[in-house]
Structure 1
Amino acid sequence: MNALDQKLFRDLVRLKGQVIAIALIVACGIACLVTMMSAYDSLQLSQQTYYDRYRFADVFVQLKRAPDSLTARIAEIPGVQQVQTRVVVNVNSDVPGLSEPATGRLISIPERQQPMLNDLFIRRGSYIEPGRRDQVLVSEAFATANDLEIGDEIGAVINERWQQLRIVGIALSPEYIYEINAGELFPDSQRFGIVWMNREALATAFDLKGAFNDVALSLMPGASEDEVIFRLDQLLEPYGGLGAYGRDTQVSHQLLDSEIQGLAAAAVAVPLIFLGIAAFLLNLVLARLVSTQREQIAVLKAFGYDNLAVGFHYLKLVLVITLGGAAVGTALGIWLGSLITQVYTQYFQFPVLQYRVEPTLLLTAIGVSGAAAVLGTITAVRQAVSLPPAEAMRPEPPATFRATLLERLGLQRLLSPVGQIILRNLERRIVQTGLAVLGISAAVAILVIGRYFEDATQYIVELQFRQIQREDVTLVFNQPLSSSARYDLTQLPGVLRSEPYRSVPARLRFQHRTYLSGITGLEPQGELRRILDENLQPVMLPESGVVLTASLADKIGITVGDRLTLEILEGERPTRQVPVVGVVEELIGQGAYMDIAALNALMREGQTISGAYLAVDSNYLDQLYDQLKETPAVASVALRDRLIAKFNEQITGSFAVMTSVLVVFAAVIAFGVVYNIARIALSERSRELATLQIIGFTQGEIAVILLGEQAIVTALAIPLGCAMGYGLAALISAAYDSEIFRLPLVVSPSSYVYAFVVITLTAIGSGWLIRRQLNQLDLIAVLKTRE
């Protein structure tokens, strides 16, 4: 080991507290980078491999009924590579051990296994046997949530008859990587599952023999998706086509892709905060080290070390700290990345979700940390190499002092001597103080953001499931029913109130913009399903006209007073124009609402309904569930309390893990900034503090002078950090604006209090360590030190 390396080792030991603090900040930044990028790589690779190997479709469309002979004409559309026609039906199911009715989505498959679009990966069991109409495959998430095994049976109402279906296999499909029922915020695999069944048996049961009601297409490379969708809609219009859509708006793909893109964005933004703070602290530490080692630099140069050798020596100090932190961060990131990947397996259903870390990612982590270190300390290194030996032998010139703003205003008399010293030092190091405030503010902002996701989702549940959706049970019928069904609803066990609704699929058009959606007709004075304005007051649906959600109005560029064209995709498929009479905010989905009587009139039908919202006496729930399971007209049942319970499960699961990690990372930032700033101040001013103690200041007053500066920095940083956190929450809220849900800009006071408590405790802890070092200050040795 040469002389410079021995000096490097001694410097690292002497600065061990600051070295560890900075290395931990670097480690947190690199851990975030490795965690998110490795999870991103793993998800993206698993998605692409699964899509390619099991032929995930590019275009989807549902329809009323079309003959099998139409398949050849669909295949002739330019750009279409492969066509898969199916029968898809939602039915009420009775699952062993589950008191509530579940919704099973029955999807037809060929009698004999063959390659097809949205192909099946059979995890356990076998494919259905030819000729066996009672055999089915079920989705893995559904089977796992209900403890279903090969050989178990589930009941379902098929063609108005109760049938027992025997499970022979447990499978996965790329179409349902994220297995969620329409209109729900979180997957509920216990009450919604996919069931694959013999094509002939399913088609015969629902009067679709020789016909289909669902189509999936794959496209040739370079084909125009929009052109294929246009031609497909034209072809299927006489057969009740509900409007074709591409992969980008398929619910499972949309949610998975959103998660992947979010990981990529966070992998860039979050590490920048940590590495930026680390670069700032490294610059402070190295600048102070250079100023205290001026004579050593002079001696090194006098002994023949050139500028390059001296500069590289100090750069090595920085790189050792940074690369040490990067090594710890990489290991931590790999561990956290594997944990996150395991969490994803609870929500995303892949045959294999293999966690992987690319060698290029490890090189990137090393390169990013090294670049941050060099950029952050280049000024201090330049200062070291630019010192001529003769000048370096002389003590550093004293700083130029001038009256502070407080002193110029004559207000210094309002403060004690200790207070004057504190404010004078802060103002005379205004840049250092500002950067310290900014560093701690970043830690506060991270804590606020960590809690923001919980605040936003809690607000969604409170607003959507307690203010808007106040029903206990939502029924969806398998086809529109006549007005007589309104009265049958009140006869169900325990039903206290029922409010029917009408749902009509439609293409909404305004000028050149279109959107595939639907119109929901509600009771104008309904109490179970309400529409609220921005003040959370109920909106009365007018006798004519349509009310749109704000996100939908923005999407098609329409405002109140404009006329909206509705291309109805049901029945005789009329085209109507209605005025837009209101715009409301909703956080889930994109909807259009009308008075149910007005919608019935628009459709020129009687009092037809598509489903109902029910308020139910909890004492009769089991009886209601038993009857609904065997009611042929009911396609699916949604339970509000179960949705809320699923949300709470999500909050106590993944959100709790994420918040805990962010607390640790934010505490590391706050500790690193406060400790390093205070430690540098102690190093720079030890002679001054010793002198004050000798002339009569108590040790407690000396501690107040030193730590009071850090307390003021922390106090200034907390409100700024809260503001930064709110601003970042606003950016996230704007970014999470999908067709499925939107994150509201809601940060609760408890989140700010939480951030305040964590940062304050961290600052107190670092202050305690500095106080211990201050108590051990050797007055005689310090006073003998040459300035």
Structure 2
Amino acid sequence: MVSPLDAKLGRDLWRMKGQALAIAVVVGLGVLMLVMMDGLVNSLTETRDAYYARYRLAQVFAPLKRAPDRVLDDLRAIPGVAAVEGRVTGGALIDLPGLAVPARAEAISLPPHGPPRLNAVHLARGRLLDPTRADEILLLNGFAKAHGLEPGDRIAATMNGARRDFRIAGLVEAPEFLFSAPPGELMPDDSRFAVIWMNHSALAAAYDMDGAFNEALLSLTRGAETQAVLAAADRILEPYGGLGAYGLKDQISNRFITEEIAGLVVTSHVVPPVFLAVAAFLLNIVVSRMIRAEREQIGLLKAFGYTSFEVGLHYFKFIMAIAVGGAMLGCLFGVIGGRSLATVYQIYYKFPFLVFRVDPAAFVTGVAASVLAAAAGGILVLRGVFTLTPAVAMRAAAPADYSRAAAMGGILRTLLDQPSRMVLRRIAREPLRTLLAVIGIAAGMAISVAMVNVTAAFDITVERNFTLVDRSDVTLAFIEPLPDRVIHDLRRIAGVIEVEPFRSVPAVLRNGPQSYRGGISGLVAEPRLNRAVGADLAPLPIREDGVLLGSALAELLGVAPGDRLEIEVREGRRPVIEVTVAGVAETLIGSPAYMRIEALNRALKEPGRVSGAWLRIDAAQSGEIFRKLRGMPAVAGVTVATEARAALEKVMDSGAGAVRYLMTAIAAVITFGIVYNSARIAFAERARDLASLRAIGFTRAEAAFVLLGELAVIILLALPIGAVLGYFMGEAVSAGFSTDLYRVPALFVPEGYGAAAAAVLLAGMVSGWLVKRDVDRLDLVATLKARE
């Protein structure tokens, strides 16, 4: 049987269903963010780990020039090594109809019989290789989809200077190519980079590797020391042109997804708590004001014999119904949102399956935060009301004393009409309530400012990278470093306006215990086509006497200008050099390190060598230019700036981009919810006052003005506060989205502040219109009638 208080609870919830639902939605959105981000992080982490384990991804990669197969036995003898696989890899170019320049490809050998011990592939379509067919290949599924290729189709590829025709046996995916970027680039592009798997004997013959390998894969036993294995592998492979073994954490595909997950972890620690805190703050304000409005009902219940505990429990149930209901909605839609975003990542990173899991702690945290915030707000207010006797509580609270404002009233009377004076007196009468309302709306605006600014920062990052940093039209990479006279040959090509050489070498940069596996880019003294820029976005000269680090790399290594840095080059003679940090450049994409090209070549004892060049060309002659570049046997790849920009924009709009768009939408809903709830609570508190004004002759418009004028003043006061809060919140959110591979700057974007302010004003107008309808529909008799 339902008790009278529980029946009242049901009636109260129904009577306030619109307002209760609005509060529950705001609470639910805060919980949704927490659950969704937790589910996304856990899903990506567990799917990645399961994929790696199922397809036996190696834990150590050891590239080299050439070594006989017998050296694999020496690698197997290293303590801590569980399995070893030798394979042949090489660069290739694929020419397809519709491509202005050939797509770059990496060719990888597969053992002739059975799956490889390490780095197996997942067959998506077609079949595996026939060991008797030297012309069959497996093709990376992403590249095939981008160009409409199917099993059975034939393609041509240039390998080691020779053109070969192949038949596609199957389309595959592989854990080492979740992120597929052309060599030397940081952005994935399925249309411009392919991976080809071939029978070992066929690929070894193509690259003169019969009885040899040029990359070793190692898996480790549980508890093995990775650094010790890396050092031992380097010692064994050094006589064979070892390029430096590296662990899974430095493998480019794993590194990219790991950085993405790390960025999501930071975001999940920064953004959802902000959303949840704003929701909890709003719930606290709303519950406090609702309970104050129920003062007379509380007195009446106590007069009928209900104890303070019973009445308190009744209102606590009311609070919990809203808080727990909103939290449950947040948990449900958080799971749905997390699964949907995980599916987006699954497509983006080409996982063949998805493991979705939300940590139960996320549910507990979200519900507990909502319940505690609601309980705190309710208990603090109930404690004050319960000290009143039933007779006192049943009487309306004593009106405010305005006698001390007589002088001000005289001044205002000459400046403002009566409704306007009533608005200002209401605000001055309860400054704490007004302050809390201002802070609540400002917090909602701050979330909108932060998310709009971050969205704009993604776009600005792309724009700055391709207008201030990389101003070239074409990037040319050579198969191996060439004499710098090739630059003169490029300048003679009709339509080539400007050529700027560069030297790029893989390297490990160390500062004490801090290290980073990346590369050094050798640039001319004052580069024009690909530049380093400072914090003020002005170009920086490349000094002869040191290295210029990107800000992300300098932060990672813990160095500043003037510090010494050790650089272990992983190419050629592999020298170890010690240089001074000459400066720090503003990082937009990647974690670059720059040296003067002449100084880098001197350190390598290879004067006059270049790894590639940036070109500025006449677009009208691009077809002929690309035709000539395709005919140069030393060219390993050609990257067109417009294609690279499109790939970067795709990265920015996928993965973290999808999260930021969703967060922006949620921020907009929360902002509207805060403004609407403020208007609804104000109406609930002042319904009797508004009815009284109507009874003494105020028009509907004048009565509505008294209520909505107060809301307008609060919103106008909240706008500057929200702008300031939004700036600091934007810094925190930008830091959460930034990774070592790209940085999202915390920017002051006037359009972002304008858009957020417009959203708050629009929410105020819509909320005002909805509340004005209720003001116009007031039943004066029922509202003014004292409750019996």
The CA deviation at 1:657 is 5.8
8 Å CA contact retained: 1:450, 1:658: no
Partner of 1:777: 778
Partner of 1:219: 220
User: Do residues 63 (structure 1) and 64 (structure 2) align?
Assistant: yes
Partner of 1:23: 24
Kindly provide the amino acid, as one letter, of the partner of residue 108 in structure 2: I
Superposed CA RMSD: 3.2
8 Å CA contact retained: 1:404, 1:424: no
What is the alpha-carbon distance in structure 1 between the residues aligned to residue 250 and residue 646 of structure 2? 27
8 Å CA contact retained: 2:455, 2:661: no
TM-score normalised per structure 1:
0.91
Cα deviations by residue, 1:386-422 (Å, 9 ceiling, x for unpaired): 5554544444455566747994998886555444433
172-181 vs 731-740, greater mean Cα deviation: 731-740
8 Å CA contact retained: 1:421, 1:705: yes
The CA deviation at 1:173 is 1.3
The CA deviation at 1:766 is 0.5
Q: Give SS of 2:679's match.
A: helix
What is the 5 A alignment of 1:110-149?
A: 110-149=111-150
Q: Give SS of 2:163's match.
A: strand
User: Do residues 540 (structure 1) and 506 (structure 2) align?
Assistant: no
Kindly provide the amino acid, as one letter, of the partner of residue 255 in structure 1: F
Kindly provide the amino acid, as one letter, of the partner of residue 110 in structure 1: P
8 Å CA contact retained: 1:240, 1:569: no
The CA deviation at 1:545 is 3.8
Kindly provide the amino acid, as one letter, of the partner of residue 129 in structure 1: D
What is the 5 A alignment of 1:609-620?
A: 609-620=610-621
Cα deviations by residue, 1:634-656 (Å, 9 ceiling, x for unpaired): 22221110122234445666788
138-147 vs 297-306, greater mean Cα deviation: 297-306
Cα deviations by residue, 1:159-211 (Å, 9 ceiling, x for unpaired): 21111222111111111222223554532101012221222222332233333
Distance 1:496 1:198, change over 3 A: farther
Q: Give SS of 1:345's match.
A: helix
What is the alpha-carbon distance in structure 2 between the residues aligned to residue 279 and residue 568 of structure 1? 53
User: Do residues 259 (structure 1) and 246 (structure 2) align?
Assistant: no
The CA deviation at 1:554 is 4.0
8 Å CA contact retained: 1:34, 1:361: yes
462-471 vs 386-395, greater mean Cα deviation: 386-395
Kindly provide the amino acid, as one letter, of the partner of residue 224 in structure 1: E
Partner of 1:681: 682
8 Å CA contact retained: 1:439, 1:669: no
8 Å CA contact retained: 1:185, 1:741: no
8 Å CA contact retained: 1:19, 1:321: yes
User: Do residues 641 (structure 1) and 645 (structure 2) align?
Assistant: no
539-548 vs 392-401, greater mean Cα deviation: 392-401
Distance 1:469 1:393, change over 3 A: closer
What is the alpha-carbon distance in structure 2 between the residues aligned to residue 63 and residue 686 of structure 1? 81
What is the 5 A alignment of 1:466-477?
A: 466-477=467-478
692-701 vs 461-470, greater mean Cα deviation: 692-701
Cα deviations by residue, 1:242-279 (Å, 9 ceiling, x for unpaired): 33332223232233233334444544544444444444
What is the alpha-carbon distance in structure 1 between the residues aligned to residue 149 and residue 43 of structure 2? 29
What runs of 5+ residues in structure 1 fail to find an aligned partner? none
569-578 vs 441-450, greater mean Cα deviation: 569-578
What is the alpha-carbon distance in structure 2 between the residues aligned to residue 189 and residue 758 of structure 1? 38
Cα deviations by residue, 1:343-382 (Å, 9 ceiling, x for unpaired): 2133211111255567776666555544443344232444
The CA deviation at 1:735 is 4.3
8 Å CA contact retained: 1:446, 1:662: no
What is the alpha-carbon distance in structure 2 between the residues aligned to residue 477 and residue 678 of structure 1? 66
Kindly provide the amino acid, as one letter, of the partner of residue 164 in structure 1: D
What is the 5 A alignment of 1:235-634?
A: 235-267=236-268, 269-355=270-356, 366-383=367-384, 388-398=389-399, 403=404, 407=408, 416-492=417-493, 494-510=495-511, 513-634=514-635
What is the alpha-carbon distance in structure 1 between the residues aligned to residue 536 and residue 267 of structure 2? 33
8 Å CA contact retained: 1:29, 1:270: no
8 Å CA contact retained: 1:92, 1:629: no
Partner of 2:181: 180
Aligned positions, number: 787
Cα deviations by residue, 1:539-570 (Å, 9 ceiling, x for unpaired): 33344543333333444444444554443332
What is the alpha-carbon distance in structure 2 between the residues aligned to residue 157 and residue 581 of structure 1? 42
559-568 vs 481-490, greater mean Cα deviation: 559-568
The CA deviation at 1:129 is 1.5
Q: Give SS of 2:532's match.
A: coil
What is the alpha-carbon distance in structure 2 between the residues aligned to residue 640 and residue 663 of structure 1? 30
Q: Give SS of 2:542's match.
A: coil
Q: Give SS of 2:540's match.
A: coil
8 Å CA contact retained: 2:259, 2:741: no
8 Å CA contact retained: 1:68, 1:212: yes
Partner of 1:700: 701
Q: Give SS of 2:195's match.
A: strand
What is the alpha-carbon distance in structure 1 between the residues aligned to residue 601 and residue 581 of structure 2? 17
What is the alpha-carbon distance in structure 2 between the residues aligned to residue 506 and residue 671 of structure 1? 52
TM-score normalised per structure 2:
0.91
What is the alpha-carbon distance in structure 2 between the residues aligned to residue 212 and residue 401 of structure 1? 92
Kindly provide the amino acid, as one letter, of the partner of residue 90 in structure 1: G
Kindly provide the amino acid, as one letter, of the partner of residue 454 in structure 1: T
The CA deviation at 1:514 is 4.2
What runs of 5+ residues in structure 2 fail to find an aligned partner? none
Distance 1:151 1:177, change over 3 A: same
8 Å CA contact retained: 1:101, 1:626: no
124-133 vs 262-271, greater mean Cα deviation: 262-271
Percent of counterpart pairs with the same letter?
Answer: 42
What is the alpha-carbon distance in structure 1 between the residues aligned to residue 309 and residue 183 of structure 2? 66
Distance 1:194 1:769, change over 3 A: same
What is the alpha-carbon distance in structure 2 between the residues aligned to residue 314 and residue 774 of structure 1? 27
Kindly provide the amino acid, as one letter, of the partner of residue 712 in structure 2: A
Partner of 1:6: 7
The CA deviation at 1:782 is 4.2
192-201 vs 354-363, greater mean Cα deviation: 354-363
